[in-house]
Amino acid sequence: MKKIFLYAGILVASFATVSCNEDFKDWEQPQSIPQGPDKDVVTAAANLLSNTIDYDATETSKVTLLTQSFITGVDAAQLVYSNLKINGVDIPCTSEYGNLIVALDDIKKACETFYHSKAHTTRLMECTVKASSLDDDGVAVPAQLTVDAATVDSFAFQFKTPELPAIAYEEAYYYVGGYNGWNLSEPTPMEKNEDGTFSVILDIGDSEWFCFAPQSAVDKQDWNGLLRATSNGDTSTSGFFNEDSSSGNSFQCEKGGTFKFTISPKDWSFSYAPVAEIALPQMMYIVGSFPASDGWSKFVPLSQAFSQDGFYYGVVYLPSGSEFKINQDAGWKGNDKGYGQLTVTDDAGAGLSSVDASNDAANIKVANGGWYNIIVKGKIANGALQYELITRKADVYIIGAALGGEWSLSDNGKFTAPDNEGAWTSPAFTGDGELRMFVDCGIDWWKTEFTIKTDGTLFYRNVDIPNNWAENVGADYSCQVSSGQKAYINFTFGIGRVE
C-alpha cells in the first residue's frame, strides 16, 4: 500500500507580492522567518489496523483505523486525534488509548459522498489526520506521526461497500408518473447512455410526482419493483434511491418546466435538472496532487478563452504520478469529473489514465511529468454538459512592441520553461512599450492573452482590447517594458515580474 508522510501541526507560510515595474522584491529570493523559542517535540508511531475494511463482515458499529505503537517527548502520553478527513470529507473521530476510532457508517457516508455511488465494490479511502499529545498544562502539543514505519501526511485503506440486494442492473428503464398518467403498461422509456446511465428529457407540469421502473417491473406490472424516493414527496434534485422498493414513496418536482431526468442503476442514484438552466460555465478548475493545487486543497482556475465559449485553458506543472480531476466549481459540489466521465485527448503525451478503470469518476493519473497546457472543451449535447480534456504542449509567447513590433507567433518570442514548478523566462525584449503575452492554444492569440498587473498578479484577458491594455482596460493592467528586460512568469502561483 502506498505510504506517504503524515504530519500534525500548523504550517505558517509567507507571501510576497511582486509587480511588473521596478519597485519589487525578487520573489524567488529566500525570505527569513523569525524563529520562536525552542519547544519539545512529540514523536509517535501508529500502525494501520487493517488494509481492508469490509462493511458487511464488520460486526461492530465502530472500527479502529490506527493503533498507537509508541510515543516520546512531552509527557510521553497517549495520542489524541483530530481533523480526520476521508477522501476530503470531514469525519468525526475519537481517541481511545492512543487508537483512532471511527464509526463504520461514517466511513460508508464518506465513500458514498466522494464516489457518488452505492455500488457494491471495493473503494480506495485516502485519509489525513492531525495527532497531538497533552503537556503538563493540558495544552495540545502537535505530534510528528509515523504510520507503518514511514513518516506520512496521509494513509489509505480499502473499503468494501455494503451489498444492497435492491441493486440489480437491467438493460432498460422507464419514467413513470403524472406525465404519463402513472401508466406502468406504457411507461416513458429512458435512453441508455454510454456510461451506463439512463436519461430522458420531459416537459412536465407543476407538482409532478414520479418514480422510475426497471424492465422487470414493467414486465411483471410490479408496483413494488419501482425505484423510489427515500421519503414520500422528496423534492431533492439528486441523491440515492430508497433501498426498500416497496415503500410506496414517490419523488416530487414542485415547479414544472423542461427537465432532464437521469438515473444510474449501478450507483443507485438519480438526478434531474432544468434543461433551460444548463449552460456552459464561465470558469473551469483543475484540482489534485500537483504543486499548484497544494495536495487537493486548492482549485486552480482554467481561464475561458476570450470570445470562445466552452474553451478553457491553463499552464500547469503535473509531476509524474500526480492525480487530478476537472471541476466546473471551485469546491466539491458533485460536478467534478474523473477520467471515465471525459473524452480524453492526450496530444502532449502526458500518459493520462484512470486510477480505477471500473469507476468512471476515478482520478486522472499522470505517467509523464512536466509542464502542460491543460485544455477543456465543453458543449451541451442531449440536454447535458459534456467535456473533452486535452493535453497540449505548453508554449508561451510575447508579441507586439516588446518583440520589436512583430505581431505574429514567432520562436523569437517564445518563453523558456523551467525544469519544475519555477518561473518561465521570456527572451530579452527587443522593443519598448506595453507587454503583450499569450498561451498558444492553437486558436487566435488574442483569445488566450494575459498580462501582469501592477500588483504582480497575472490577469487573463476577458474583454475586447481594440487598442491596448492601458486604454481599454486600465493602467493597472498595462505592463510597460524596456528593451533588454525580460519577463518572469510563475504560473504555479499566478504571479510575474519584469526586470
Instruction: Give residue-wise pLDDT tens across range 249-290.
Output: 999 999 998 899 999 998 999 999 988 667 899 889 999 999
Given a cut of 50, whether residue 2 has pLDDT beyond it is no
Instruction: Tell me the three cell numbers of residue 284.
Output: 473551469
Q: What is the pLDDT of residue 25?
A: 43
Q: Which amino acid is at 441?
A: C
Which are the contacts of 224, defined by CB distance < 8 A and separation ≥ 6?
Answer: 245, 246
Given a cut of 50, whether residue 345 has pLDDT beyond it is yes
Rounded distance between C-alpha atoms, residue 250 and residue 284, angstroms: 35
Given a cut of 70, whether residue 36 has pLDDT beyond it is no
pLDDT level of residue 203 (50, 70, 90 thresholds): confident
Rounded distance between C-alpha atoms, residue 433 and residue 129, angstroms: 52
Instruction: Tell me the three cell numbers of residue 376.
Output: 477543456
Instruction: Give residue-wise pLDDT tens across range 363-383.
Output: 999 999 999 999 999 998 756
Percent of the chain with pLDDT over 70: 89
- Domains in the chain and their CATH numbers? 38-160 (2.60.40.3640), 173-277 (2.60.40.3620), 284-393 (2.60.40.3620), 396-498 (2.60.40.3610)
Instruction: Tell me the three cell numbers of residue 478.
Output: 498595462
Q: What is the pLDDT of residue 35?
A: 36
Q: Which amino acid is at 205?
A: G
Given a cut of 80, whether residue 431 has pLDDT beyond it is yes
Radius of gyration (C-alpha) of the chain in whole angstroms:
27
Pairing of strands 150-151, 52-54: unpaired
Nearest to 169 by CA among 229, 119, 128, 129: 119
Rounded distance between C-alpha atoms, residue 260 and residue 326, angstroms: 23
Rounded distance between C-alpha atoms, residue 496 and residue 430, angstroms: 19
Supply angle C-alpha 254, 266, 112, rounded to 5: 75
Average predicted confidence (pLDDT) for the chain: 88
Average pLDDT in the 224-253 region?
92
Rounded distance between C-alpha atoms, residue 456 and residue 18, angstroms: 4
Cβ atoms of 282 and 312 within 8 Å: the answer is no
Average pLDDT in the 182-204 region?
92
